[in-house]
Structure 1
Amino acid sequence: MKPAALSASFSGPFALGTLSAPDQAPFPGLVVPGRRVLDLRTGLENPALTARGIFERWDEFLPRLRALAADATGDAWQPLDGLRVHAPVEPRQVFQSGANYRQHVIDLEVAHRAPDDPRTVEEARAEIAEVMDRRAAEDLPYVFIGLPSAITGPYDDVVLPSWAEQPDWELELAAVISRPAYQVGVEEALEYVAGYTIANDLTDRATVFRRDMKAIGTDWLRSKNAPGFTPLGPWTVPASSLADPGDLRVTLKLNGETMQDESTKDMLFSVARIVSYASQTSQLLPGDLVLTGSPAGNGMHWGRLLRDGDVMDGSITGLGAQRTRCVKEGS
C-alpha cells in the first residue's frame, strides 16, 4: 500500500530512495520537494549504479547530488506519483541496538513479569530503572545482528507468520553508513554516517527468550528476522539535513491511534556511541544500517499485539513516513 500524501515529506533539499515503475527494475532515485524524481543512473552517468553504490562513493557523489537537486529541471525528472517506493538501501549488515530507550525497557520489564513475581509494579519499575541508570553510567551499549532478508519496503504489507504469537512494533531511527568504519571513536563516528531513515523493527515477543534453556538468553533470529519484519524507509535523508539526530520525534500509530510518541532524547546511548561501539568489533560497510532502539509504547505495554488487518503509520521528524498493513500468513 502506498499513501501518496506521505511519499515526499522530508527535511532538506533532497532525499534518496529506491523506486520502480510498473514492471520495471528498481532504480536509485534523487527525490526533491514537489514530488519529482531523478533516476541517478542517468543523473550520475552510471547505468549500473545502485543505492548501495551511492553510499560506497558518498564523499564523491554528495556534492553532485546537491548540484542536481538545486537544478531539478529537464526531461530526465519524472513525477513521483505512480512509482513504487522500495526500501531505500540494501545493506550487507544490520546492527541493532537493544534496550536503548530508558522508559521502553522499564515498561517491558513490567509487562514480562512472571505471574508469581513477588515485586509490586512500583518495585519492578524502580529496580529496572536502577539497571538502566547503571548501564548509562558504565557506557556499555547492547548491539546485536539482524538479517537484511527481513527488510521490506515502507508501504509493503507485513506478513505475520503463523508461529508468531505476539508480534509487536518497534519504530526506530536508523543510521546509514557511508564508508568503512572500524574501531572509530565516538568523536568521529558521525563522519561515517551518510544519513538516516526509518525502520520498524518488528518483534515476536513470545520467542524473544528461549523456553528450552534460559541460560541461552535471547533468540533474536527467531523473534526479529522473519521476511518483511523490518519495513524500511521511505527515504535516506542526508545527515546534513537534520539538525540533531538526538532530538527527533518518533511516532507510531496503530489504526490511527498513537502508540509511540517519544523523542530520541530518551536514548541511553547516542547514534555516535552506538556506531563507535559496533565498530570496535566489526567493520561497518557502506550502506549498512545501524538501528538505534525503540522508545516506549510497544504492544506489550498496551496489551495489544499486531493482528491481521492492522495498519501501522510510522514517522520520524524530517524523515518522512511509512505505512504498512499486517496480513496473516497464507491469506
Structure 2
Amino acid sequence: METSPSLAGPFALGTFSSGAGPAFPGLVAGGRVLDLSAHAPTTRALLERWDDVLPLLREAAAAPAGEWRPVAELRVHAPVEPRQIFQSGANYRTHVIDLAVAHEPAGGRPAEQVRAEVAAMMDRRAAEDQPYVFIGLPSSVTGPYDDVVIPSWCTKPDWELELAAVIGRPAFRINPDKALEHVAAYTIANDVTAREVVFRRDMPEIGTDWLRAKNAPTFTPLGPYLVPAAFLDPGELRVTLKLNGEVMQDESTKDMIFGVARLVSYVSQTVELLPGDLVLTGSPAGNGLHHGRLLRDGDVMEGTITGLGTQRNRCRDER
C-alpha cells in the first residue's frame, strides 16, 4: 500500500489492516509498523490514556524489539474514529476574500470593492475574537488513500485541505492559554464540499446547509497518521494540495485568523471535547471555485501538510 514520507518526529500513530483481517492501531516509525492491538483496540483508546501512553510509544519507537512490519504491506485506514468533528469556517484570510469574489453575481460589485469589504469584515472578526465553527459527521470520514465518491446529485464538488487537531485530554470551558495541552496530535483532513448546496436559496434567511454540503460518505479523507503535537508547531506549517499533479493550494497556517488554541478553546465553551475528536482549522486559498475547476471523475487529489505526510485520493463519480 501507500507510504507517507516526511513525518515530523521519530514516530506517529495510525490504523492498519492486512488482507481480510481486522483493523488495528499501529506505531509508525522508519517506514515500519508495530501492532499495538495487545495494548488497546483502537487509536482512540490510546488517546484516552494519552499522558500515560506517549512515553511508552517513545520507548517502543526507539527499541528494535517487536514484530515490526513494512507499511507498504498494509492497508492504511483513517487514523482515528472521532466521536465529534468540529469544522472552522472562514478562517484563512485570503481564502475568504477569494470565495467572496467568486460568489459575487455577474454584474455585481467590482472585485476590488468586494475584497476591501471582506478584508474589513475579517479584521472585525479577529478583533471581536469570534471564530465560526460548525459540526461535521464522523460518517463522512474515509481513509487517506481511499476513493472520494461524488454523489449523483453533486454538481460542484470542491476540495478544502485542512490541518486537523486531534484531542487527547477532555476539554470543557478551557482558556486559550491551556488549550494546546488538550491536543494530542495533528493530522490532515480534506473537507470536500458540494458548493452548489452550501447556501439555501429556498431559505436565504436561514443561511448555510452544512449537512448536505459537507457530509456525504467519503467527503472527509483523513490521515494518513496522527503525529504527536510535541513534534511540530501548528502555526508554522505549509498546506499544499495538488490536483492531478498541479498545485492548487499552497499556503502557510500563518494565514489563519484564529489559531488552534483559540479554536479548541472556543469549541470547548459550548461542548466537551473528548479524546479522538477533531477540530478542523479551515482551508487556505486555492479551492476549485477560485480556480474555476471543480472535481471530476478520475481526478487525483494529493494533500500534504508539513510534517504530517501525504494523502492521495482518487475521485469517483457515483454514477
TM over 0.5, shorter chain: yes
Gaps of 5+ in 2: none
Correspondence 1:55 to 2:47: yes
Partner amino acid, structure 2, of 1:56: E
Amino acid at match of 2:162: E
- Counterpart residue number, 1:14: 11
CA deviation after TM superposition for structure 1 residue 9, in Å: 3.2
Aligned partner (choices 71, 76, 84) of residue 67 of structure 2: 76
Match of 1:291 among 280, 296, 302: 280
8 A contact 1:178–1:193 mirrored in 2: yes
Measured in 1, the distance between the counterparts of 2:271 and 2:163 equals: 20
Q: Is the 8 A contact 1:180 1:283 kept in 2?
A: yes
Q: Match for 1:83: what amino acid?
A: L
Task: Tell me the CA shift for residue 49 of structure 1.
Answer: 2.1
Taking a change above 3 Å as real, the CA distance of residues 167 and 153 of structure 1, as seen in their structure-2 partners, is same
Aligned AA (2:158): D
* Equivalent in 29, 36, 39 of residue 35 of structure 2: 39
Q: 2:213 aligns with which of 223, 231, 242?
A: 223
Matched residues, percent identical? 69
Residues 271/75 of structure 1: CA separation in 2 closer, same or farther (3 Å cut): closer
Task: Number of aligned residue pairs: give it.
Answer: 319
Offset, 1:8 = 4.3
1:308 to 277, 284, 297: 297
> Residues 127-146 of structure 1, C-alpha deviation per residue, up to 9 Å, x if partnerless?
11111111111110001100
TM-score, length basis structure 1: 0.95
1:90-110 per-residue CA deviation (whole Å, 9 max, x = no partner) reads 000000000000000000000
| Residue from 243, 257, 271 that aligns with 1:268 | 257
Distance (whole Å) between structure 2 residues aligned to residue 310 and residue 236 of structure 1: 26
Please state how far the C-alpha of 1:75 moved relative to its aligned partner.
Answer: 4.6
- Which letter maps to 1:201? D
User: What is the aligned partner in structure 2 of residue 24 from structure 1?
Assistant: 21
2:235/2:254 contact within 8 Å kept: yes
Does 2:126 correspond to 1:130?
A: no
Residue 121 (structure 2) pairs with residue 121 (structure 1): no
SS for the counterpart of 1:216 is coil
Q: Could you tell me whether the CA contact under 8 Å between 2:162 and 2:189 is conserved in 1? A: yes
Residue 74 of structure 1 deviates from its aligned partner by 3.0
1:159-189 residue CA offsets vs partner (Å, 9 max, x unmatched): 0001111100000000000021000000000
- In structure 1, the residue matched to 2:58 is 66
More moved, 125-134 vs 101-110: 125-134
> Residue 186 of structure 1 aligns to which amino acid in structure 2?
P
3-state secondary structure, aligned to 2:73: coil
User: Which of these residues, 90, 111, 122, is aligned with residue 99 of structure 1?
Assistant: 90
Secondary structure, in 3 states, of the residue corresponding to 1:195? strand
Aligned-partner residue type, residue 197 of structure 1: T
Q: Determine the structure 1 residue equivalent to 2:143.
A: 153
> Match for 1:25: what amino acid?
P
Q: What residue is the counterpart of 1:322 in the other structure? A: 311
| Aligned residues: CA RMSD | 0.9
SS at match of 2:152: coil
TM-score by length of 2: 0.98
- Is the contact made by 1:8 and 1:31 (CA closer than 8 Å) also made in structure 2? no
Letter paired with 2:33: V
Given that 2:176 and 2:261 are in contact with CA atoms closer than 8 Å, whether structure 1 keeps it comes out as yes
2:5 and 2:124 map into 1 onto residues whose CA distance is 41
CA distance in 1, matches of 2:250, 2:47: 30
Offset of 1:82 from its aligned partner? 1.5
Q: Secondary structure at the match of 1:214?
A: coil
Measure the CA separation in 1 of the matches of 2:16 and 2:217.
Answer: 20
Partner of 1:194: 184
Distance 1:15 1:254 in 2: 26
For 2:59 and 2:128, locate their aligned partners in 1 and report how far apart those are by CA, in whole Å.
Answer: 44
Residue 34 of structure 2 contacts residue 66 of structure 2 at CA under 8 Å; is this kept in 1? Answer: no
Q: CA deviation at 1:155?
A: 0.2
